[in-house]
Amino acid sequence: MLTIIHTPELDDSLKSQLITEIDGELQHCGDHYRLHHGAPWPRQSLDGLRQRIPFDINPLPEDFRLDDVRLVISDMDSTLINIECVDEIADFAGVKAQVAAITEEAMRGELDFAASLTQRVATLEGLDESALGKVYEERLSPNPG
């Protein structure tokens, strides 16, 4: 089995814990670590590891080949990229607090996603399209890993 931990650096104590816990080999590969181990992680153990390490942890089959991947599906905001796009666009429109309040309603279950998105985007009506370019140039970047 192969487990990828997406972080450029782990402290020595955590490295030792991982090697002991998985009974395997830890390899540093620049922006991530590869853990080579025999048996798959028990679900409970993997969940515990994810709570101790604030990084993405992805178990993969040992024969996983990135070249074989043909489609990747990912959430964008605060997952693949470092920002919440609508919030940052709203900042340029001067309505960031209003958009944040709508988002909070949705997080509390008071609005479904579609209604929340519709309300948030409606606050941006009339905003010049150039704000999108400014958000892209000044605030957006991919998350590490």
Residues belonging to the active site: 75, 77
DSSP state for residue 114 in the 8-state scheme: H
Q: Take residue 25 and report the two structure tokens written for it.
A: 């080999």
Residue 56 to residue 31: CA distance in whole angstroms: 12
